[in-house]
């Protein structure tokens, strides 16, 4: 046996229905807010993420599944969707093609992380992005969309956490303030943080090393260093959240682990799923489209981890609601009539099964039980001769003879009433 790769998962019947439920609810919610689906390749040029996600992020430095292909090109399995969707926006001029470029993507992402509950090497995201709208009303709309997605899935015990990390104008002053506040203490921090202090001091807030936390707790907060327009933007986002009636908590540590964020950043945490409890995360990225070679357009979006949504959903959500019908045949002649009945049931939109191995009626009915059939239709020579089908209600074991020409309607009614 050659097992699956560590950190990857097969999604089997029994669980796949919960995934289908998440995807169906998500599509309905996204479409209500005006988003259209796009599908992009799983492989992209490595450069898209080293430039987009950012050279100083853990994703680019440690986690990419990157390789040189047979043509000598540096390729990577996508670790996130945002740079791909920015590429799509630019490459296909969505600004011209769509009234408002609002797009979503559902698919697998790949990060070489240490696997644990809720953290995998191949995982799946629902990602939404909107381009070209700077008004803070769109930030609040995105937050409302994220909140609606999670609550429509019946997930409880959740918390929306927000922050503002400023813009290109006010970030340098905040970075300088961080360095000044760290002073000599920088030497006490872990090797990663010492590197972050020189490459991108904001990243220090991502640090999970327990010994570093007392120092990090004393650092200044980005919201205290915002320029006037970032302050006004953030105040308006918060005011709009009040209009939507969405509760939130401000967290100055929420800088998010990707380099492109400007102004609003957010996560929804909770759902009682253990240590990896960020159900979704996102924010504004006003410089990214230009940085990736596009026009100077702003953007905002978020991505939710499907595995985490599935974990956090109530147990009964998305369970299969199948109502199989079983056709049993006694004898060779009846078998042909049974096959025609099987075909008609399926054409009428019902889930129908038959046992092909020509076993006894007893073992056929056992199979019907294992399939959890709601109705069994039994055809033998006698039924054929009289133009009827024996219809057995598998729950009550009640059996009646129904004329063949009305049996489809009869069974459809029984299935609907079950």
- List residues near ligand HAM by CB under 6 A: 80-82, 111, 113, 118-120, 123, 125, 127, 129, 258, 278-283, 301-305, 307-308
Q: Would you call 261 exposed, middle or buried from its count of C-beta atoms within 10 A (0-12, 13-18, 19+)?
A: buried
- Rounded to a whole number of angstroms, the minimum distance from the CB of residue 227 to ligand HAM is 22
Which neighbouring-strand residues pair with 161? 249, 267
Quick one: 304 or 374, whose CB is closer to ligand HAM? 304
Question: CB-wise, 179 or 317, nearer to ligand HAM?
Answer: 317
Contact in structure between 270 and 71 (CB atoms under 8 Å): no
Retrieve residue 293's tokens. 């070679």
Shorter beta-carbon distance to ligand HAM: residue 205 or 326: 205
Q: Give the side-chain half-sphere CA count within 13 A for 73.
A: 9
Shortest Å, Cβ 258 to ligand HAM: 6
Question: N- to C-terminal Cα distance for the chain?
Answer: 42
Q: Which is nearer to ligand HAM, 301 or 318 (CB)?
A: 301
* Minimum gap (Å) between residue 66 Cβ and ligand HAM: 16
- State the Cα–Cα distance between residues 156 and 269, nearest whole angstrom: 10
**Shortest Å distance, C-beta 176 to ligand HAM:** 26
Handedness of CA 173, 296, 88, 151 (dihedral sign): positive
With respect to ligand HAM, which residue has the nearer C-beta, 150 or 338? 150
Residue 122 · residue 8 · CB < 8 Å:
yes
Q: What b/e string do you get for 90-122 counting C-beta neighbours within 10 Å, with b at 16 or more?
A: beeebbeebeebbbbbbbebbbebeeeebbbbb
Nearer to ligand HAM, 282 or 324 (CB): 282
Q: What is the dihedral of CA 94, 95, 101, 105, to 10 degrees?
A: 20
Question: Is the CB of 113 or the CB of 144 nearer to ligand HAM?
Answer: 113
Q: Which is nearer to ligand HAM, 28 or 117 (CB)?
A: 117
Cβ nearer to ligand HAM, comparing 154 with 331 = 154
Minimum distance between the CB of residue 248 and ligand HAM, rounded to whole angstroms? 16
The least CB distance from residue 82 to ligand HAM, in Å, is 4
Q: C-beta of 281: minimal distance to ligand HAM in Å?
A: 3
- Alpha carbons within 13 angstroms on the beta-carbon side of residue 181 total 18
Which H or E element spans position 375?
A: strand 375-379
**Judging by beta carbons within 10 Å of its beta carbon (0-12, 13-18, 19+), is residue 7 exposed, middle or buried?**
middle
Q: How far is the CB of 282 from ligand HAM (least distance, A)?
A: 4
Using CB positions, name the residue nearest to ligand HAM: 305
Task: Please report, for residues 65, 79, 323, 390, 414, the alpha-carbon distance to residue 396 in angstroms, rounded to integers and kept in the order given.
Answer: 56, 53, 15, 14, 12
Shortest distance in whole angstroms from residue 189 CB to ligand HAM: 23
How many angstroms separate the Cα of 391 from the Cα of each of 74, 189, 364, 388, 410?
63, 75, 14, 9, 9
Query: DSSP string spanning 45-107?
Result: EHHHHHHHT-TTSHIIIII-EEEE-TTS-EEEE-S-SHHHHHHHHHHTTHHHHSSS-EEEEEE
When the beta carbons of 288 and 330 are compared against ligand HAM, the nearer one is 288
């Amino acid at each position: 046996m050659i097992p699956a790769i560590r950190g990857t998962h097969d999604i089997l019947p029994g669980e796949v229905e919960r995934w289908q439920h998440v995807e169906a609810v998500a599509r309905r919610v996204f479409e209500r807010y005006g988003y259209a689906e796009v599908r992009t390749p799983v492989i992209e040029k490595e450069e898209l993420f080293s430039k987009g996600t950012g050279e100083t992020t853990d994703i680019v430095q440690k986690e990419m599944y990157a390789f040189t292909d047979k043509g000598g090109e540096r390729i990577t399995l996508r670790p996130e969707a945002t740079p791909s969707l920015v590429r799509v926006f630019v490459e296909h001029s969505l600004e011209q093609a769509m009234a408002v470029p609002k797009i979503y993507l559902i698919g697998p992402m790949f990060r070489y992380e240490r696997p644990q509950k809720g953290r995998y090497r191949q995982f799946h995201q629902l990602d939404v992005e909107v381009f070209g709208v700077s008004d803070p009303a769109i930030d609040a709309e995105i937050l409302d969309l994220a909140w609606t997605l999670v609550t429509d899935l019946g997930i409880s015990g959740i918390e929306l956490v927000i922050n503002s990390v400023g813009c290109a104008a006010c970030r340098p002053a905040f970075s300088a303030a961080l360095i000044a506040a760290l002073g000599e203490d920088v030497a006490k921090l872990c090797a990663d943080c010492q590197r972050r202090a020189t490459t991108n001091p904001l990243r220090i807030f991502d640090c999970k090393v327990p010994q570093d936390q007392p120092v990090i707790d004393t650092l200044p907060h980005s919201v205290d260093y915002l320029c006037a327009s970032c302050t006004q933007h953030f105040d308006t986002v918060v005011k709009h959240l009040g209009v939507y009636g969405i509760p939130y908590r401000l967290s100055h540590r929420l800088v998010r682990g990707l380099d492109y964020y400007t102004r609003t950043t957010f996560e929804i945490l909770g759902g009682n799923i253990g240590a990896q409890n960020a159900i979704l995360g996102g924010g504004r990225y006003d410089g990214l489209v230009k940085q990736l070679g596009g026009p100077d357009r702003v953007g905002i979006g978020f991505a939710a981890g499907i595995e985490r949504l599935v974990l956090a959903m109530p147990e009964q959500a998305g369970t299969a609601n199948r109502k199989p019908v079983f056709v049993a045949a006694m004898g060779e002649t009846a078998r042909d009539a049974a096959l025609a009945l099987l075909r008609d049931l399926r054409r009428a939109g019902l889930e129908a099964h038959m046992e092909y191995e020509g076993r006894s009626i007893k073992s056929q009915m056992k199979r019907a039980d294992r399939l959890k059939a709601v109705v069994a239709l039994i055809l033998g020579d006698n039924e054929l001769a009289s133009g009827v089908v024996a219809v057995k209600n598998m729950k009550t074991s009640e059996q009646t003879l129904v004329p063949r020409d009305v049996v489809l309607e009869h069974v459809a009614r029984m299935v609907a009433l079950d």
